Amino acid sequence: MNDTKKHNPYESPKSILVDEIEDKLSKKEYEIFLSITQLKPLSDIMQNIQNSYKELLRIGETVYICIDATIPDINVPKKHVEDGTIVLDISPKAISNFNWSECAIEFIAKFKSKNQIVKAPFDSLLWIYSGETKTGYELNKV
């Protein structure tokens, strides 16, 4: 018996992409992926993050986000801030409890084995990019 998935030719490319990513992730990681990518975008920046996130995971890259840590209402570990920015791995294996709001992202990340809530308003999000190639998408101009 052949265990490879066969895709319906009438199936949308979006669902094929999601199936392709699902095959690469654990159940917990896949749930995090869905929490980031499946909510209807409320803004252009949200849509850009979702699209970049899907594409980077599809090609097997580690997803990083660069945040301007000088913006008000931000919650990041200050001791990891360099030159006013912080870079965080937001791959499904690195975070939990990802949530969108109308104007920010929030998730739990580990820093030296301790969980910390990270909150970043959309206007603090500078880049989403691949950790391997350092290529990605500029979200907000500095």
Three-state secondary structure call for residue 33: helix
> Given pLDDT bands bounded at 50, 70 and 90, which one contains residue 1?
very low
Question: Distance between CA atoms of 77 and 59, rounded to whole angstroms?
Answer: 29
Per-residue pLDDT of 108-130, as tens digits, reads 998 888 999 999 999 999 999 99
Per-residue pLDDT of 60-100, as tens digits, reads 999 999 999 999 999 999 999 999 999 999 999 999 999 99
In order of their start, the domains of the chain are 13-138 (2.30.30.220)
So what's the pLDDT on residue 113? 86
Give the angle subtended at the CA of 53 by the CAs of 47 and 56, to the nearest 5°: 140
For the chain, the residue count is 142
Mean pLDDT of 20-30: 85
> Distance between the two ends of the chain, CA-based, in angstroms?
55
Assess whether pLDDT exceeds 80 at residue 17.
no
